[in-house]
Structure 1
Amino acid sequence: MQCTNCGQENSRDALICSNCDQRLANTQAQTPPPLTPINISKEAQNVQHGSPADSDTADTLLATFVGEKYDSYYREKWFENSQPRLTLDKKDTPRPKFNLAGVLLGISWLSYRKMYKIAFFVMLGISLLDTVLMYVLGEQTYNVLSNSLFLGVGIVITGLFGNYFYLNHSIQRIKKITSSNCDSNIVRERLAKAGGTSWLGAIGFTILLVTMSVLISYFLGPDWYWVE
């Protein structure tokens, strides 16, 4: 190890220069390890386990998962002026943000963003609520209000809470993928595959959900609902 004061060469483990008694800097300890795919993946796993995260790492993982709309839309909706992070504690939970696509497409938007589980439970909840209203409101009142009530509940859920659902979904998927892989290339590939969008998923899963809703109304709804 070379002394920065006099230029004397010293042993690798020396703490003081043998020529001028200058304290030697422990450059080995100060030099960070080389940036490798494994180290990059470890940073992602540190985020998953709750360690202080580099915002650039969270940014990269989220951008890989979401796709092209992350920089132009979701980053600002989720974090505003704060640093991107992969935590969603009660203290820092972002307030719900309006999502126009959620309003216009409803359940189809959830499926389009591959939130199939959330779409299923949202549709199940709306369908069960709709069935309860059939009995509570009665035939005449229900026939007047049914469409507006059904659509209104869907708009509130997917429009007002859609961005929050998507952030939580993204964080959970990223944590699962980064915790089970140590190769950054594999992590990126799996994030891109698990995230992004799917028109086929949107159409196919929406058809299944509508079918489920019709079956719930058929088996649980009152007799007058199916009598013309």
Structure 2
Amino acid sequence: MSETSTRVPIEDEYVWTFFGPQAEYYLERWRLRQQGRRLTFNLAAFLAGLFWFAYRRMYLVFFCLLGFLLVESMAEEAVFGEPSTASTIAANLLFGSLYGFLGNNLYLWHAERKIRRLLALGLPKDELLVRLRRAGGTSWVPVLVMLALLVLFIGLYFWLGQTTQG
């Protein structure tokens, strides 16, 4: 349950329903967070990076991180020139670690925000559970869209490189 001095606790059933796949893992993290232990590590977020945020339907976080990455990459290239393989690997490990250490906390924040919004509607319990299930959980659709866009952008990058040289 989540409690602050002015907020009503959120029932475990609502949290469980929202989390969907891996609900037990996230419910355990939810309880640790309520005890003040906010720093945990999510291996899936570390390995999958931005794809994990999209898979967990955290679109606001996904786009904020994507924007930050794009600005950071442009600033890095402007200051240091073309990145070396070593600096690219270091940056990937740094961002992966950041995703790993912040992933659970960001997901729990996201879940609490969504659950509280739905609770505020005052829906009957059956309808609330349906909406929680729909709002939470996971989705492969944004991950597949991201992969398709990535392949498209990489292909376009190489195609443009070929047409400007030849």
Q: Deviations over 1:145-173 (max 9, x none)?
A: 34214412430232110000100000000
RMSD, matched Cα: 2.9
For the Cα contact (< 8 Å) 2:55–2:138, is it kept in 1? Answer: yes
Kindly indicate whether structure 1 or structure 2 has the higher relative contact order, using CA contacts under 8 Å at least 6 residues apart.
2
Q: Deviations over 1:39-90 (max 9, x none)?
A: xxxxxxxx7993453xxx521111010014122x11222323967xxxxxxx
> 2:143 matched to which residue of 1?
202
Gaps of 5+ in 2: 158-163
The CA distance in 2 between the partners of 1:168 and 1:196, in whole Å, is 14
The CA distance in 2 between the partners of 1:103 and 1:194, in whole Å, is 24
Which of 139, 142, 151 is the aligned partner of 2:92?
151
Distance verdict in 2 for CA 1:98–1:166, change over 3 Å: same
> 1:60 matched to which residue of 2?
13
Tell me if 1:164 matches 2:121: no
For the Cα contact (< 8 Å) 2:32–2:38, is it kept in 1? Answer: no
TM-score, with normalisation over the residues of structure 2?
Answer: 0.78
The CA distance in 2 between the partners of 1:109 and 1:148, in whole Å, is 19
Bigger CA radius of gyration? 1
Report how many aligned residue pairs link the two structures: 154
For the Cα contact (< 8 Å) 2:58–2:107, is it kept in 1? Answer: yes
Q: Going by fraction, where is helix more abundant, 1 or 2?
A: 2
Distance verdict in 2 for CA 1:206–1:77, change over 3 Å: farther
> 2:161 matched to which residue of 1?
none
Q: Deviations over 1:90-115 (max 9, x none)?
A: xx4x4221101001111111111101
> 1:122 matched to which residue of 2?
65
Gaps of 5+ in 1: 1-46, 84-91, 218-225
Tell me if 1:76 matches 2:28: yes
